[in-house]
Amino acid sequence: MSPSSSKKKKTILEIEGYPIDGLSIGGHETCVIFPSLKMAFDIGRCPQKAISQDFLFISHGHMDHIGGLPMYVATRGLYKMKPPTIFIPNSIKDSVEKLLAVHREMDQSELKNNLIGLDAGEEFHLRKDIKVKAFKTYHGVPSLGYIVYSNKQKLKLEYLGLSGSEIKALKLSGVEITNTVTAPEIAFTGDTMSDFIVDPNNADVLKARVLVMESTFVDNAMSIEDARDYGHTHLFEIANYAAKFENKAILLMHFSARYKISDVQAAISKLPSILSGRVSALTQGFL
C-alpha cells in the first residue's frame, strides 16, 4: 500500500455501515460525503473527492457551504460525467440559477445540471429504494436539512411461514405479498440552531440511523446564547437534549476553527452517558 492510499483511508470514517468522508470547519468549508450512496451534503470549496458524487444537497447559501458549486458542476462536465442532481432550498433557487448563468458566460461552457428546489416537508424519490425529504432548520439565512430514507420490500406477516414455491405461486397469481417499509437512514442538518431538535415536524431527524449535525461551539469560551446569536448549535445544548436523540449514531461537524482535535474529543467525552458510544466527530482539517 502506498503512503498516499494509506493516508486516504485514515480520512474515511465508517458509521453504521456507511463510509463517510469530507471535512467541516465552521466558516471555512463544509462538505460531507457518503460515497456508497454517491451523495455529498454541501460542497464547501469543492474537494476533489466530492466531484464523483452524483447527488449534491445544499443546506444554505453561505460561501463555506456553497462556494464550490460552479467548480463541482464544471469539473463533472470536464470529465464527461453525467450532469449532477443538485438539491437546494427553493428560496434561493433563482439566485443559484443566476450564479450558474454568470459562470456559463465567463467560462463559455454549458454547466449542465439538474437543479431542484425543495421546501421543508417536500420529498423527492431518487430511485425506487431511496427518497429524500427536506426539513426545516433554523439559521440566519434561508436553510434546509435533508433526510435520506430507505424503501424496502418486506414479506407480509401472513406469508412468513410459506415455502419459496408457495410464495412464488402467490406472486405469479397477482397477490401483493410485500409491504413497503420506509425508514430514515441519514439526516444532515447543515448550519442551524438547536430549535430543529424540538420542532415536532422533525421527529424523523432524531430517529435516523445516522445524524450528521453541527456543533460549532463545544466549551465555555462561547455560551449557548453566543451560539444562538450566530445561528448555531452548542454542544451543551446537545447534552441538554440528550434524551431526545434516538439515532444509532451522531456525527458532529462544523466545529469552530478555534478548536483542536483534543478540545473536541475532551468535550465529547463529557456528554451524558445516554449518548455514550454513539457520538463521533468529523475532525479532518483540525490539528
pTM, full prediction: 0.90
What is the share, in percent, of the chain residues with pLDDT greater than 90? 84
b/e 67-78 (16+ beta carbons within 10 angstroms → b):
bbbbbbbbbbbe
> Cα(246)–Cα(81) distance, rounded to whole angstroms?
38
pLDDT at position 154 over 90: no
What is the share, in percent, of the chain residues with pLDDT greater than 70? 94
> Cα(251)–Cα(240) distance, rounded to whole angstroms?
17
**Residue indicated by cell numbers 463544509:** 30
Q: Which domain holds residue 268?
A: 13-281
Cβ atoms of residues 31 and 24 within 8 Å: yes
Band of pLDDT at residue 178, cut at 50, 70 and 90: low
> Domain for residue 8, yes or no?
no
> Domain for residue 2, yes or no?
no
Q: State the pLDDT at residue 6.
A: 41
Q: State the pLDDT at residue 168.
A: 82
> Domain for residue 236, yes or no?
yes
Q: State the pLDDT at residue 156.
A: 73
User: pLDDT higher for 59 or 128?
Assistant: 59
- All three cell numbers of 58, joined, read 445544499
> Domain for residue 151, yes or no?
yes
> Domain for residue 286, yes or no?
no
> Domain for residue 138, yes or no?
yes
> Cα(250)–Cα(170) distance, rounded to whole angstroms?
42
Q: For Cα atoms 3, 81, 211, give the angle at the middle one, nearest 5 degrees.
A: 65
254-278 mean pLDDT? 96
Looking at every residue in the chain, the average pLDDT score rounds to: 93
Which segment of 86-90, 149-153, 164-168, 179-183 scores lowest on mean pLDDT? 164-168
Going from the C-alpha of 68 to that of each of 13, 53, 97, 258, the distances in angstroms are 23, 14, 14, 23
Q: Give me the phi and psi of 118, to 5 degrees please.
A: -125, 150
Q: State the pLDDT at residue 170.
A: 73
> Could you tell me which residues are beta bridge partners of residue 147?
133, 187
> Domain for residue 140, yes or no?
yes
Query: Angle, nearest 10°, between helix axes 69-78 and 93-107?
Result: 50
Cβ atoms of residues 30 and 15 within 8 Å: no
Number of domains within the chain: 1
> Domain for residue 227, yes or no?
yes
Can you spell out the DSSP letters for 218-274? -STTS-HHHHHHTT--BHHHHHHTGGG---SEEEEE-EETT--HHHHHHHHTTS-GG
User: At 271, which CATH number?
Assistant: 3.60.15.10
Give per-residue pLDDT as tens, 6-56: 444 456 899 999 999 999 999 999 999 999 999 999 999 999 999 999 999
147-176 mean pLDDT? 80
